[in-house]
Amino acid sequence: MKITVNIWRQKDADAKGSMVTYPLESVDEHMSFLEMLDVLNEKLTIDGEDPVAFDSDCREGICGTCGVVINGIPHGPEVTTTCQLHMRTFKDGDTIDIEPWRAGAFPVVKDLVVDRGSFDRIIQAGGYISAPTGAAVEANNIPVPKADADHAFEAATCIGCGACVAACPNGSAMLFTASKITHLGLLPQGQPERDSRVLGMVEQHDAEGFGGCTNIGECTAACPKGIPLDVISRLNRDLLGALSRQAVGS
Amino acid sequence: MTTTTPAPGEFHVVGDDIRDAAAPTGPIERRWDDRKFNAKLVNPANRRKIKVIVVGTGLAGASAAATLGEAGYQVVSFCYQDSPRRAHSIAAQGGINAAKNYRNDGDSIYRLFYDTVKGGDFRSRESNVYRLAQVSVNIIDQCVAQGVPFAREYGGLLDNRSFGGVQVSRTFYARGQTGQQLLIGAYQALERQIGAGTVEMNTRHEMLEVILVPDADGVERARGIVVRDMVTGEIETHTADAVVLATGGYGNVFFLSTNAMGSNTTATWRAHKKGAYFANPCYTQIHPTCIPVSGEYQSKLTLMSESLRNDGRIWVPKKEGDDRPASQIPEDERDYYLERIYPSFGNLVPRDIASRAAKYQCDDGKGVGPGGLGVYLDFADAIERLGRPAVEAKYGNLFDMYARITGEDPYSEPMRIYPAVHYVMGGLWVDYDLQTNITGLFCAGEANFSDHGANRLGASALMQGLADGYFVLPNTLADYLAASPFEKIADDHPRVVEARQEVEARITKLLEIDGTRTVDSIHKELGHIMWEYCGMERTAEGLTKAVGLIRELKNEFWTNVKVTGVNEELNQTLERAGRVADFLELGELMCIDALNRAESCGGHFRAESQTEDGEAMRHDDQFAYVSAWEYDTDGDGQTPILHKEPLEYEYVEMKARSYK
């Protein structure tokens, strides 16, 4: 099928970018979306033009590296990662707009590549359990109710792609932050650092320039892993508790 | 002694045998304790003066960097991805083995050791494998303490499943995303150390050279690396007291594999060209249940858990070239070939046998789907027997994945599957301490060759990566670092300058060729050669041909490749060009290694070495050794030098496999 793509081209972080149109003559419906871009890049290379820079790695929906805004929707019209989107979703003659994640805390590096280092710094600020190697007790000494373990696992399936931020009108990373708060906060191992974790991570989230959450829910609608909005309620509850304990000095 | 010219029909020469000098002796169950007891220690107060470079942030690299940071060393970590959390360990699905014996089903450290040695087809070291089985239990404890959400029973205790043809349930798992959860655990431990200032993290940095500097006694030591900042193109040099490579496997030499797009051999290959031995490069694991190629544009292959073979039946049409839809092929015109040839194991034969059998069917013109490169994996019987809801509960996520990628509904028509390259057992040669033959250069995880022999068992890759990073390296590296900090290496040291200039010259050359072939087109061509001649079935004739073809292609690359743009920018074409240049050289060595090993073992099947009924035949009298290859610096890699490390089995009796 014939497809026309409008792609955001930006030489580097400081350059001004613009949308550039490329026609593609023979796109196979079984191609993945990124393979369609590969084919475009092969053509650009042969023509001596600069290929479109975009991030991808595992191409099986788990590493979280890929992610572009497709026709205004992070990862495109299906609820999945960009690498798992296939061209059969589109029709012959379609025009597709392709842009990078748009958020102040995700500066563009080049074309469709953004810098998501802010996510790593949020994790550094408390998104862990302090368990130095060698200090662990026998694993089955820490029983975890199955429901809690399953719920923690679901929150832990976040791939850190940043679609939630790109989807949020406020550019908030609350879904990302809250998924980690929920994963670790539901486990007995996560209790000793529960307060310091939520305080540290939320402070870092704000310092990175992510916006505040106003419970719009675009994040969870765009999340390729289906992280539910209620993780943010849990974060808010943990934060309130931690702040009040901090205030009374206990 | 090394001869200087290859024997007729060969491409290599044979050097002196080598030994693993670090390996302890004595009763096998005491060896690791003995090694730790005899290892020198580093005073905690001195550790902050000692710098260690760790390249790669997968399970092995992230766990090593975090643990060394916790211990108080200055760690400098590098990854090519935009975050350490994205390393390809994240894509492992099935699980991680540990000899906990929580199911009371007769498991033990000794049994895990035994299964792994046997599964490796008697081409791994007993001492290493025993240690792996020993520390497996600590890994689970460590991961649970970090908050890894493993599957649990209703009583709150950890669940297990059986995996990969063993008879005990020793696999711990987190749904189909065990690799993701383990990596996130290691990543969080790493980020904690980055926050604490013990680890300096460099993302989007690719290692392009290792820096060797002779000490006062003339011993060449690994003292640093050259990296390229992938955003600015700046070439940086970093020096340290020791260098750890945890840079993963090289399956992408086949172009199409289940590896991530960026997975590459450059770090290990650069080390090899600086003198590190490359061991058993031809040992490749090909996984039978992947989604087949759909067209020439295909960029990677996707694995589906082989648990599917528990309920799916594999078949092809009996008639060659039968292009009717599966539903219109009557039962008596279908060949359930695995059930026919292997009546006792049926569809559950080991990975290599299932893969090869599929290839033979397709070679005979019975393959299905685009290009005839696929076989059916049919769940119709299972759906009838168990009901659709039960099949959905067991395999729903895999069925969804298949439907998303192929656009076909596996509940109503059979899946199509085909084998794909998945893991490499070969890698840099290391001793028991995980040190390469270059002093001060260590190698961990899939990047080394150490524990899986000629074939890796399911759920053992995650175990090895974390064993190396959390428990082995921090102990053995300390023994080496006890004599440090070594003399500081200045940025203008001749060896540092030289290594940097080599990297810069290579980049300049790549950019200057300005030919007509894209990097990917050459990479694809290499992949076709490797898959055809060094894939599931290898012959002396084919491998000889492949060496010639790769040499021609290498020449084509260096005279006719087109790399657009400049170095001083984010340049993904340049990144790929550098990796493909190294894959071309590695591919050649893989073929030479496969040619030398005129036996079938594990993932390496030589057509000339099979029993009358087509089973793999080892030749223990001739090949019970590790092939450790030395780069032929004088001859520009044309004539690699083979060093043999003899393998001895004191505990497990060498036997032939049989799955009939």
The domain that contains A144 carries what CATH number? 1.10.1060.10
Query: Could you tell me which residues are beta bridge partners of residue A82?
Result: none
Is B511's pLDDT higher than 80?
yes
- Edge-first strand listing for the sheet containing B278-279: B13-14, B641-646, B625-630, B278-279, B427-428
Residue B451, pLDDT score: 96
Measured between CB atoms, which of B177, B195, B407 is closest to A88? B407
pLDDT of residue B660: 66
Chain A CB contacts of B147 under 8 Å are 128-129, 131, 152, 183-184, 187, 189-190
Q: Chain A residue with minimal CA distance to B80?
A: A57
Per the structure, the complete domain to which residue A75 belongs is given by: 3-110
Mark yes or no for CB contact A51/B152 under 8 Å: no
Question: Is A128 in contact with B294 (Cβ distance < 8 A)?
Answer: no
Local confidence band at B437 (pLDDT 50, 70, 90 cut-offs): very high
Question: How does DSSP classify residue B224?
Answer: E
> In this complex, do B144 and A139 lie within 8 Å of one another by their Cβ atoms?
yes
> How far is the C-alpha of B64 from the C-alpha of B553, rounded, in Å?
38
Please tell me the least confidently modeled range out of A163-172, B71-80, B156-165. Answer: B156-165
Q: Does position B620 have pLDDT exceeding 70, yes or no? A: yes
* Cβ separation B82–A116 shorter than 8 A: yes
- State the total domains in chain A: 2
Say if the Cβ atoms of B152 and A146 lie within 8 Å. Answer: yes
Q: Nearest C-alpha of chain B: how many angstroms from A126? A: 7
* A46 membership: H or E segment, kind and range: helix A33-46
Question: Would you state the pLDDT for residue B582?
Answer: 98
| Whether A64 and A163 share a structural domain | no
**Alpha carbon distance B595, B355 (integer Å):** 21
Work out the minimum CA distance from A135 to partner chain B, whole angstroms.
Answer: 8
Best CA proximity match to B317, nearest among B328, B307, B308: B328
Of A134, A156, A124, A176, which is closest to residue B469 (Cα–Cα)?
Answer: A134
Give the position of tokens 């497990």: B652
Q: Is B195 touching A (CB cutoff 8 A)?
A: yes
* B157–A128 CB contact, under 8 Å: no
Which residues in B lie closer than 8 A to residue A27 (C-beta atoms)?
A: none
Lowest mean pLDDT among A111-125, B162-176, B410-424: B162-176
Shared domain check, A123 and A98: no
Closest Cα in chain A to B179: A62
Indicate the average pLDDT of chain B: 95
Q: Which residues of B touch A28 (CB under 8 A)?
A: 294-295, 297
The pLDDT, as a whole number, for residue B397 is 82
The per-residue pLDDT for B345 is 84
CA distances from B539 to A23, B459, B632 (A): 45, 30, 25
Amino acid at B307: S
pLDDT at B337: 97
What is the per-residue pLDDT across A163-199, written as a single tens digit (0 to 9) for each? 999 999 999 999 999 999 999 999 999 999 999 999 9
Q: Which residue, among B272, B131, B280, has the nearest Cα to B624 in the 3D structure?
A: B280
Query: Using 50, 70 and 90 to split pLDDT, how confident is the model at B657?
Result: confident
Tell which of B47, B63, B79, B85 to mutate to test the A interface (max A CBs under 10 Å). B85
A107 residue type, one letter: P
Give the gap in angstroms from C-alpha B97 to the nearest C-alpha of chain A. 14
Q: Which chain A residues are within 8 Å of B289, Cβ to Cβ?
A: none
Q: Clarify whether residues A104 and A145 are in a common domain.
A: no
The minimal CB distance from B85 to the residues A88, A136, A160 is found for: A160
CB nearest A136 (choices: B142, B261, B294)? B142
- Report CB contact under 8 Å: A128, B188: yes
Cβ distance of A59 and B300 shorter than 8 Å:
yes
Confidence band, pLDDT 50/70/90 cuts, at residue A138: very high
Q: Do the chains contact at B180 and A28, CB–CB below 8 Å?
A: no
- Using an 8 Å CB-CB cutoff, list chain B residues near A135: 145
Q: Please name the member of B70, B138, B565 whose beta carbon is closest to the beta carbon of A50.
A: B565
- The answer to whether residues B231 and B43 touch, using CB atoms and an 8 Å cutoff, is no
pLDDT at B3: 61
Does residue B203 belong to the interface with chain A, where contact is any CB pair within 8 Å?
yes
B140 touches chain A (CB under 8 A): yes
Ordered by start, the domain boundaries in chain B are 286-422, 494-624
Establish if B568 touches chain A: CB-CB under 8 angstroms: no
Q: Is 70 exceeded by the pLDDT of residue B70?
A: yes
ipTM above 0.95, yes or no: yes
**Phi, psi (rounded to 5 degrees) for B268:** -70, -35
pLDDT of residue B398: 87
Distance CA B339, CA B342 (A): 5
Q: Please tell me the distance from the alpha carbon of residue B658 to that of residue A161, in angstroms, as a whole number.
A: 46
Of A46, A58, A131, the CB nearest to B146: A131
- Whether B299 sits inside 8 A of A32 (CB atoms) is yes
Which single residue is written with the structure tokens 């808010």?
A236
The C-alpha angle A187, A190, A196, rounded to 5 degrees, equals: 145
DSSP-based three-state secondary structure for B108: coil
Binary contact (B156, A143; C-beta < 8 A): yes
* Residues B278-296 pLDDT 10s: 999 999 999 999 999 999 9
What is the arithmetic mean of pLDDT over B236-251? 98
Do the Cβ atoms of B82 and A48 come within 8 Å? no
Provide the 3-class DSSP secondary structure of residue B210. Answer: strand
CATH fold, domain B494-624, is Methane Monooxygenase Hydroxylase; Chain G, domain 1 (1.20.58)
**CB-based contact B518 A45, cutoff 8 Å:** yes
Catalytic annotation present for B351: yes
CA distance B51 to chain A (A): 19
CB contacts of B471 in chain A (<8 Å) are 133
Residues of chain B positioned with their CB less than 8 A from the CB of A62:
90-91, 177, 180
Res. B176: pLDDT tops 90: no
Give every strand in the sheet of B205-214, ordered side by side: B205-214, B220-229, B235-239
In which band, very low, low, confident or very high, does the pLDDT at A35 lie, cut at 50, 70 and 90? Answer: very high
**Predicted pLDDT of residue B305:** 84
Low-confidence winner among B132-146, B333-347, B426-440 (lowest mean pLDDT): B333-347
CA distance linking residue A195 with residue A240, whole number of Å: 10
Are B192 and A128 a contacting pair at CB < 8 A? yes
Q: Which segment of B127-136, B190-199, B632-641 scores lowest on mean pLDDT?
A: B632-641
**pLDDT tens sequence across B357-371:** 999 999 999 999 988
Instruction: Give the separation between CA B480 and CA B241, rounded to whole angstroms.
Output: 9
Q: Are A246 and A195 in contact (CB under 8 A)?
A: yes
Question: Is A250 a residue whose pLDDT tops 80?
Answer: no
Q: Let me know: does A129 contact A183? Beta carbons within 8 Å.
A: no
pLDDT at B390 over 80: yes
- Contacts B87 to A, Cβ<8 Å: 63
Chain A nearest CA to B573, separation (Å): 8
Nearest-10 Cα torsion for B483, B488, B491, B492: -110
Q: How far from B213 is each of B219, B268, B274, B489, B491, CA to CA, in Å?
A: 8, 18, 11, 8, 12
Fold of B286-422: Flavocytochrome C3; Chain A, domain 1 (3.90.700)
Distance from CA of A194 to the nearest CA of B (A): 13
Q: Is B102 on the interface with A (CB under 8 A)?
A: yes
Residue B416 has pLDDT above 60, yes or no: yes
Residue B653: partners with Cβ closer than 8 Å, 6 or more residues away: none
Q: What whole-number percentage of chain B has pLDDT above 70?
A: 99
Please name which of B267, B265, B239, B233 lies closest in space to residue B252, comparing C-alpha atoms: B265
Q: Say which residue, A194 or B401, is predicted with more confidence.
A: A194
Confidence label for B310 from pLDDT (cuts 50, 70 and 90): confident
Indicate which of A9, A27, A44, A63 best probes the interface with B, i.e. most B CBs within 10 Å of its own CB: A63
How does pLDDT run across B318-328, given as a tens digit for each residue?
999 999 999 99
DSSP string, B14-57: E------TT---S-GGGHHHHHHHHS----HHHHTT-EEEEE--
3-state secondary structure of B576: helix
Compute how many other C-beta atoms are within 10 angstroms of the C-beta atom of residue B302: 21
Catalytic-labelled residue, pool B351, B356, B500, B576:
B351
A129 shares its domain with A232: yes
State the count of interchain CB pairs (< 8 A) between A and B: 215
Do the domains at B286-422 and B494-624 have one common CATH topology? no
Whichever domain contains A63, its CATH number is: 3.10.20.30
Do B260 and A57 count as a contact with CB atoms less than 8 A apart? Answer: yes
Q: Domain boundary at A110, A143, A169, which?
A: A110
Q: How confident is the model at residue A76 (pLDDT cuts 50, 70, 90)?
A: very high
pLDDT of B165: 64
Query: What is the Cα–Cα distance from A76 to A74, expressed in whole angstroms?
Result: 5
| Chosen domain end from A44, A79, A110 | A110
From B157, B231, B405, residue closest to A109, measured CB to CB: B231
Q: Can you give the pLDDT at residue B2?
A: 57
Cβ of B565 under 8 Å from any chain A Cβ?
yes
Q: Which of A11, A28, A84 sits opposite B295 (nearest CB)?
A: A28
